[in-house]
Structure 1
Amino acid sequence: MDITPERLQKLANMKMPFGKYKGRILVDLPEPYLVWFAGKGFPEGEIGILLQILYEVKLNGLEDVLRPLRASY
């Protein structure tokens, strides 16, 4: 799991592409949802990597680091 500036930017701005929280910005996903993925297994591909990174960010209380990266709308 390689944490890059591009991936951090995606966490702050990309929308969840599927599931219960489809359409929600990744950083806004609830922690219990990420804990569920951690127990069941993260999806394959880039979205799985992003969710793993986000899980670690939230687990360590660092989500405020991502807030300044949000695009202004």
Structure 2
Amino acid sequence: MNSHHLSLLVSLEMPFGQYKGSLIADLPGYYLSWFAREGFPSGELGALLALMYELDHSALRHLLDPLRFAHQPRKNTLYPPKRG
């Protein structure tokens, strides 16, 4: 596990299935457990889902909170939007 993988959990969306469009970090534990029982997809997505499963199973989801804050879109306060 490295910081890049953790940041991907809070920035990448699930590309298919019931939770398509949800951030991987927001997938419910029972869905991650289903993948753990049935098999994770191959490649990077499978590795990220397995990592998220381990975080959820170990009650460590809170470790992603600082990363969530870092990935929130920020309003541009330097240049207010033009009107007119």
1:65 Cα deviation from its structure 2 partner: 0.4
Partners of 2:21 and 2:66 lie apart in 1 by: 20
Percent identity of the aligned residues? 45
How many correspondences in the alignment? Answer: 71
Q: 2:28 aligns with which of 27, 30, 40?
A: 30
Give 1:1-73 correspondences, 5 Å limit: 3-70=1-68, 71-73=71-73
Report the TM-score, using the length of structure 1 for normalisation.
0.93
More helix by share: 1
TM-score, length basis structure 2: 0.81
Instruction: Name the larger-Rg structure.
Output: 2
Please list the CA deviations of residues 9-56 of structure 1 after superposition, one character each: whole Å capped at 9, or x if unmatched: 001111111111000011110000000000000000000000000000
Task: Please give the alpha-carbon distance, in whole angstroms, between the structure 2 residues aligned to 1:13 and 1:66.
Answer: 11
Structure 2 regions of 5+ residues with no counterpart? 74-84
By relative contact order (CA 8 Å, sep 6+), the higher-ranking structure is: 1
- What's the C-alpha RMSD, in Å, of the aligned pairs? 0.7
- The runs of at least 4 aligned residues of structure 1 exceeding 4 Å deviation read none
Aligned-partner SS, 1:13: coil
